[in-house]
Amino acid sequence: MFKIYIDDVEVKCDNQFDIEEEFMNPSSIILTNVYPASWSPTDLMNNYYFPEDYTKCKIYKDDILYFVGIVKNSADMELNPLKPHYCSLQILDPSTLLSEGTTLDYVIANKTVTEAINQVINSISDYGFVAGNIQIPEQYDTLIGAYSTLDKAPFDVFQYLSQISLTRWGTRMVDEDTTAIDFFSPELLDSQGTIKLEKDYCSEHHIESITYDYSTDDYRNKQIITSDEVFGNVEQTQTILSNGYDTSFTTEQKIGKINSIKVNDSEATFATSNEKDLGITADFYYKVSENTFDSDNVYSAGTEIEISYTPIVQGREVSYNTPEINRINTNLGRNGTISQYENRTDVTSSNELQLVGQSYIKFKGIPEITLTITSRSDFLTLGGKYTFSGPLSQLNGDYLVKTKKTSVTQSDEYNWFIYEYELTNSFDVENELNYFDNQRSKANGNISQGEYIARNVDIENTALIIFDNAELIEVEMGDNILNAPLNAPLTQ
């Protein structure tokens, strides 16, 4: 049995309504044919029920608080005096205030991810938000770059903090006035149980259907990643003899970073061309990704110039998923290698290129599976990790409950609750594949070096003015005529 209260007035709702929940997506429901439970059929004809916007809606299930929402608007009312005056309401989850409430106006700096999360939550605590379960892996909970929240909604800031910490976040109801904000990494979650594909288990939990969507777009088992320009792993050392007149010198490979330059075994100074434009002086200048470096000086013929530098090279990484190759080879009796080629420009070193390729094979080698479970029992927790066990070995493994949809139907005194869960096994794929981009975002924030944030500051200055050695002349009041002094009062 469920009961609905709006501003502590019990109302009835004759329709079926759904409560949809998904990570980072506030839920809302539509109530139709709403009227106070105390009204008689005659009252339905004679009275109009029109609740205020932004009042509180509470839904109880078996006298336990089940859902708290905000009445956003009311509409679709029948005004014909000959028909019942039902009302339709849209009910929003309080977490919608994260995107529709106030915007922020400060800079997050010199804080870890956890400290930044708590700073944002504290700034919106008057909306009823509190810090919930904050679980961030230690290796990701490091200092982040300066990040401006100016004119950003808390929702946007939480999205950013979730991205750079490789975590998920969501909201949950604590009580009718409080909503908790949780950040967690799926890898830190404990399994909440095993979903068994057995008759007894399905009967016990009133499971009506279990279906799966098995992705077939990740069968490639050889990943070839190239990048036109990355920092090489091996430092290059080259000796060049001056010809006595050239001031530009050529290296065998493109220069990524100069480590040292010696002229006849004496250390020389060097800087980039951009630094030169800023007024920095040095013996030699260079541009990244070019195979030349220059000097403003002319060195005599035979002068030895020894340069040590990290080169820019064309990177190539090949990664194999050997078990998958062998499986296809065994099944088909022919070469089982299926390749994918990709050129990336978002990595800066060949070491990173190798890690990207290995991550791709590791996670894309596992098919992405979505399980959909429909039940008349509320037995799975949104955001919970569960182990699936059944006769199909390809489906067995850990899953995360990604979405939950609750359908409620009431007829007289009877209720029907249908719960539809969507579970996925790929909850870490996107984070792993975007690891390097996320780390750069963490280091840089959204304020680059040399940039600043403008602020609107209201300043009121009050000062007492003291005249030193001032001579005061009293102007005699007279008629306002043409020969009156210019500063005479205008009187008649």
* N-terminal to C-terminal alpha carbon distance within the chain: 87
pLDDT of 13: 81
pLDDT of 490: 56
| Residue 81 CB neighbours (<10 A) | 8
pLDDT of 407: 86
| Measured distance CA(89)–CA(27) in Å, rounded | 14
CATH top-level class of 189-217+367-427: mainly beta
| Look-up of token digits 């005096």 | 81
What is the per-residue pLDDT across 152-200, written as a single tens digit (0 to 9) for each? 999 999 999 988 888 888 888 889 899 999 998 877 888 899 999 999 9
Domain boundaries, the chain: 2-92, 189-217+367-427, 230-314
Task: Of 56, 58, 97, 54, give the one whose Cα is nearest residue 73.
Answer: 54
User: Please, what's the largest Cα pairwise distance for the chain?
Assistant: 119
Q: What is the DSSP letter of 257?
A: E
| Measured distance CA(307)–CA(462) in Å, rounded | 64
Interhelix angle 154-164/435-444, nearest 10 degrees: 120
pTM for this predicted structure: 0.68
Question: Which backbone phi and psi does 304 adopt, to 5 degrees?
Answer: -90, 125
| 455 has a pLDDT exceeding 60 | no
Burial of 454 (0-12, 13-18, 19+ CB in 10 A): exposed
DSSP helix/strand/coil, 184: strand
Residues 142, 176 contacting (CB under 8 angstroms): no
DSSP helix/strand/coil, 83: coil
| Measured distance CA(366)–CA(254) in Å, rounded | 39
What lies within 8 Å, CB to CB, of 31 at 6+ separation is: 4, 13, 15, 17, 57, 88, 89, 90, 91
pLDDT of 129: 95
Question: Which backbone phi and psi does 295 adopt, to 5 degrees?
Answer: -140, 150
Burial of 266 (0-12, 13-18, 19+ CB in 10 A): exposed
**What does R_g of the chain's alpha carbons equal in angstroms?**
35
**Of 5-19, 35-49, 173-187, 383-397, which gets the smallest average pLDDT?**
5-19
Q: What is the mean pLDDT of the chain?
A: 84
Identify the H or E element spanning 85. Answer: none
What lies within 8 Å, CB to CB, of 149 at 6+ separation is: 103, 104, 105, 106, 107, 108, 120, 157
Question: Which of 215 and 170 is assigned the larger pLDDT?
Answer: 170
What is the per-residue pLDDT across 341-381, written as a single tens digit (0 to 9) for each? 888 887 788 888 888 887 777 766 677 889 999 999 889 98
